[in-house]
A and B are shown apart, each in its own frame.
Chain A
Amino acid sequence: MATNPIQAPAQGRDPSTLGPRVPRLGLDPLLTLAAIGLGILSLVTLDGISHAQMVRQGVYLGGGLVVMLVISRFDYSRLRELKWGLYVILIAAILVVLGIGHSVGGSTRSIGVSVFSFEGSEVGKVVLIVFLAAFVVDSSRKTSSRQLVARVMLLALAPTMLVIAEPDLGSGLVYVAAAFAILYIAGVDWRHLTAVFVLGVAALAIVLIVGPLVGFHTYQADRLTAFLDPGAVPAKQISKALYQQRESVIAIGAGQKFGLGTVATNTAANFVPLNSTDFIFAALAERFGFAGAAFVLSLYALIIWRTLRIVAAAKNLFGALVAAGVVAMLLFQVFVNVGVTVDILPVTGVTLPLLSYGGSSVLTTFLALGLLQSIYAQARIAAGAKGRVLSI
């Protein structure tokens, strides 16, 4: 520091004069701009599909922005004290949904219930991240690395299994990814993480590959088999998932370099099912071409880069872990969702943050962004209090 001539005079300055240079509460401008940009792209893409959905998405995005702003004004550190309450609420919400779902009866699950179940597992992502981060912070000193990994994984697995049973495989995988990221940033031994990862893959292999052999069919298994070997599964069971991806690839490819603009008809004419939710990236890529798709990916990359910076700059471990969980959540969703639409991953049912139509997905993302903004703001305040300029 002494070698820095610019900062030298500031050492003796009265802290009160630093007020204008270090705002008490700020927003990360790049993060905010990228989020707004994605929101606008969502509205533009939806307008070509369904005017009514665009209008509603506008309302969701507006509401989400407000939620983000409100959360950014609070100190996220207080959430640590509420961790067990949050966990109980999370499990209870999922259990209630499962219970009602069963009482109504498998496939004839009522609309109200299915909407609720969707929201529960979606918002649950953020709740679980906050809980796991708090749990790790509170127990990292008292327990060994191996024990910490085991406990965190068990705590994450309970809600994961419950939402997979709903069935919402996508959200369940996000939970697991977030748990891994939090443990990794918390500094646990990477070999323990690797061991858990291998165990998880083995368990998944048993469910998806050995299960069908002994007559236990799940639609996820069928999808995976269909993805790996389209000839192996009876046409009736695979057609839907395979059809989605084939049409999606055709639509994306048809966009070529600069897109078809408003004459993009494949996605809009519903040849690609779920064109406003899980497959909205196909609609966008058809309409705006590689240029547009690459731009969207850049915006996501920007968000993740900013989030990684926030991980590094957080004023405390709790903040760093929450931000790490959010990184995992966003990265996983973007990679899996886009990976499905470009047919390099099997259909999973994960939404594309901020772009996919849907109130709960938008709300969840803005909750996460609000936490990030709060961590960012708190980091700046802490740095200001310490009299140094935080360069993030």
Chain B
Amino acid sequence: MIEAPLQRRAPLPPQLTRRVGVLSVVTLALFGILAFRLWYLQVLTGPQNAQEATANVVQNIPTPAPRGNILDAGGNLLATYRNATQVAIVKDDLPARGPLREALYKRLGHVLGIGWRTIRATVDDQQVAPPGYAPTAITYISSDRELAYLAERKRYYPGVVERSVPVRYYPQRDIGSIVLGQVGQITGPSPNGVRGELGTPAFSGVAAGSIVGQAGLEAQYQPYLQGIPGQDKVEINSSGYPTGAQGSPIPPTQGDQLGTSLNLGLEREGYVAMREAMSAARAIHNPATAASFVAMNPMTGRIYGLGSLPTYDANAFATGVSTSAYRQILDSGSLNDRAINGQYPTGSTFKPITALAALSAGVITPQTLAGAGTTYTVGSGAAAQSFRNSGGANYGNKDLVGALAVSEDTYFYPLGKALNGDGTDLALQNQARSLGLGSSPGVDLPGGGDAGVVPDYRYVAAVNKADWAQFCQGPQGTIGARPKPAYATKQLAINGCAQGQFDYWTVGQNIQLATGQGFLLATPLQMAVAYSAIFNGGTVWSPKIATQILSPSGQVVQQLPPPAVADKVSWNAADRAAVIAGLRAAAQGAGGTSDAVFGNFPRPVYGKTGTAQHAGQKDQSWYVAYAPDAKRPIVIAVTIEQGGFGAAAAAPAVRLMLSQWFGIKKQFIAGTNPDL
């Protein structure tokens, strides 16, 4: 054998042939094992495997149930559902994690007009994601063009499916949206340890990825409205798309309907009236930034209408809201239900409560004459405090009816002083509290409505202490203490710390409370409840919106508990009659503060204007009214932030709503009475 020098160094080993032979035998054995195993799987047990495989491609896909309708008292639809085309992602069918999947997200995001990272975050959100073979909702398609585009290019969108799903629909759009609330995907535990809704009692049995009620009536009555998801048994074809239903799908069960005592006509008119009042206020240079109203039956405690402006289209949340759209709604303040959570000084609408407290305490009788002069002064020398009638008017001495009619501040200021006693007398506060102020009304909305504040010496002391801790260095009460550096430039802090306290309970505070000013805070709902109690003889309601649960076909399934009696107040009959007469005179008596608005109204109206003052802002317009009726008595409270005098904005809005309620021709008539 002749070999090149390189090869000569390493000759082929002598046993090469034998070892190659051994390798051949090993190869043969390994291939034999594989072939035998394949024979076993495919030929011997193939039929069983084929059966299992068929079962394998039929998947149960949960189909969302339509939420139950929300109805007004007359059966009109406040919330229902519509079918929308949803783009969803079936995670199991996506390309492998990595560039391919990312590219798919980008293509899809481009078509749908959403960021690809949003898609990724939605799909990867492990807390709320459904099982891998079930679709995760991405967004809803609004145009047929997008739908056609995706349908024609299914091959390039593996794992992307379109399906028709029921979504919440609010036919009244932005009317009453704050009462109806919102729906959204159920929240899971968040990374920072917040538990979320998933698995909590209110959401028991609700699967991850479901749409649930998250505010308003939608949240309050979530278990009734939710419905039961169905199951589609679907065969998946080679592209990952359902080829058509197999077996018998289990249809979803729509949630039960929620009957309410709301009146759609009044609800709509409430929004129209508030908007008209706001534009009227703006015409006379009041910014009128927000408004709210509550209408209820004073005899039963049922809510007829409840609204808040600014508002938003409730449908914005039904198909998922983009971050920017959500931010816009949030920034507008629309998500704040001012009717139950807006806490304000009430201005003169508080005066009937002061009157009742003074009458009950024996400070006055209905016939007591008082109030002459333009100014009421307490204290003397340097400690003297003066309180003026609005506009510096002098109404002369009046009895209670006359004082309520013209809203004579100088009549009520002395009552505040008298009811203050030695500074720890709480007669006025107790009257207000017994009428529901200072505690949550417990309406059937999440939170039950804010409590507000009925101030007394203890409250002011607590505020004082808190302010001290926040603003000043040194223990409380140290005269001359220095403000904390962060507040050193604020005059309030400098003064408060220097004098040893910020504010303290004085007789002046009680005098302010007597006219609904000072630290007093109450919501429109609380004022409606308080006035209801005055007119129904002392029953303080914990009002209710929902009345009953109906099946989807309309059968009554369950009567919900009626409004509960929160408190029962009793007055001397003559005292109560005098206050009611005063409210009638204010609304429809000659010289009454809102006579200009209601003087020509063809039905009796009892109402009180209020003009609450806020430092640095225009006055807040209030009106609370009662209109008797054998079957449908009504109390309405309206307030308009920075809307000006009560008679100028809130009262005309109430007139529009009463006109709607009693079927009277609507007229917007603004008064000019400068009542405080």
**Residue numbers in A under 8 Å from B379 (CB-CB):** none
Cβ–Cβ contact A257 & B238, under 8 A: no
Contact of B13 among A186, A274, A289, A335 (CB under 8 A): A186
CA of A201 to CA of B247 in the docked complex: distance in angstroms? 52
Interface stretch (choices B52-60, B179-187, B536-544, B601-609): B52-60
| Residue from the set A247, A285, A338 with the largest chain B CB neighbour count within 10 Å | A338
A270 lies within 8 A of B52 (CB): no
Report the minimal beta-carbon distance from B577 to chain A, rounded to whole angstroms. Answer: 75
| Contact call B49/A294, Cβ cutoff below 8 A | no
Q: CB-CB < 8 A to B195: which residues of A?
A: none
Chain A positions 299 through 319: 1 when the CB is less than 8 Å from some CB of chain B, otherwise 0: 011001100100110111110
Contact of B42 among A256, A266, A317 (CB under 8 A): A256
Whether a CB of chain A sits under 8 angstroms from the CB of B12 is: yes
Residues of B within 8 A of A114 (CB): 98
Complex Cα spacing A249 to B238, Å: 18
State the main secondary structure of chain A at its contact with B: helix
Query: What is the number of residues of chain A that contact chain B, defined by CB distance less than 8 Å?
Result: 66
Q: Say which residue of B15, B54, B57, B238 sits within 8 Å of A48 (CB atoms).
A: B238
Residue of A nearest to B22 (CB): A184
Contacts of B26 on A, CB cut-off 8 Å? Answer: 331
Task: Specify the chain A residue showing the minimal Cβ separation from B236.
Answer: A269
Contacting B at CB under 8 A, from A247-267, are 247, 249-257, 262, 264-266
B72-118 with Cβ < 8 A to chain A: 92-93, 95-96, 98-99
Q: Is the CB of A187 within 8 A of B20?
A: no
| A271-B57, A386-B2 known; A252-B14 Cβ under 8 A | no
| Tier of interface size on chain B | 35 or more
A141 to B2, CA, bound (A): 19
Residues 169-185 (chain A) with a chain B CB within 8 angstroms: 181, 184-185
Q: Pick from B32-40, B160-168, B293-301, B351-359 the stretch touching chain A.
A: B32-40
**A289/B6 contact (C-beta < 8 A), A111-B98, A271-B57 known:** no
**Which residues of B have CB within 8 Å of A265?**
53, 57, 235-238
List the A side residues contacting B327 at CB < 8 Å.
none
B98 contacts across to A, CB distance below 8 A: 111, 114
Q: Closest Cβ of chain B: how far from A137's Cβ, in Å?
A: 5
Q: How far is the CB of B47 from chain A (nearest CB, A)?
A: 7
B240 in the interface, Cβ–Cβ < 8 Å?
yes
Contacts of B11 in A (CB 8 A): 317
In the complex formed, the residue of B with least CB distance to A310 is B20
Q: Is the CB of A290 within 8 A of B38?
A: yes
Q: Given A51-B155, A315-B7: A290 and B42 within 8 A (CB)? A: yes
Q: Does A65 contact B (CB under 8 A)?
A: no
Which residue of chain A lies nearest to B18 when distances are taken between CB atoms in the complex?
Answer: A187
Select one of B35, B42, B92, B99 contacting A255, CB under 8 A.
B42
CB–CB A308/B15 < 8 A: no
Asked if B486 is at the interface (CB within 8 A of a chain A CB), the reply is no
Instruction: Write the nearest CB–CB distance from B322 to chain A, whole angstroms.
Output: 28
Distance from B10 Cβ to chain A, minimum over Cβ atoms (Å): 4
Q: Does A123 contact B (CB under 8 A)?
A: no
Contact indicator A342/B53 (Cβ below 8 Å): no
Would A269 and B237 count as touching, CB distance under 8 A? yes
Is there an interface contact between A253 and B42, defined as CB atoms closer than 8 Å?
A: yes
A320 to B47, CA, bound (A): 46
Verify A187–B57 contact, CB threshold 8 A.
no
Does B489 interact with chain A (Cβ within 8 Å)?
Answer: no
Instruction: Report chain B residues within 8 Å CB of A342.
Output: 34, 37-38, 41
Does A339 interact with chain B (Cβ within 8 Å)?
yes
Complex Cα distance, B243 from A268, in Å, reads 14
Contacts of A51 in B (CB 8 A): 155
B37 partner residues in chain A, CB cutoff 8 A: 339, 342, 344
Q: Which of A141, A255, A305 is close to B46, meaning CB atoms less than 8 Å apart?
A: A255
User: How far, in angstroms, from A297 to B6 measured CA to CA in the complex?
Assistant: 38
Min CB gap A333→B, angstroms: 12
A residues near B54, Cβ cutoff 8 Å: 254
Interface residues of B in 643-670 (CB under 8 A from A): none
Jot down 6 A-B pairs with beta carbons below 8 A, ordered by A. Answer: A140-B10, A250-B49, A252-B49, A254-B52, A269-B236, A308-B20
**Residues of B at under 8 Å CB distance from A?**
2-3, 6-7, 9-17, 19-20, 23-24, 26-27, 30-31, 33-35, 37-39, 41-43, 45-50, 52-54, 56-57, 92-93, 95-96, 98-99, 155-156, 158, 235-238, 240
6 other A-B residue contacts (CB within 8 Å) besides A251-B53, A312-B17, A344-B37: A185-B19, A187-B15, A265-B237, A270-B240, A293-B38, A317-B10
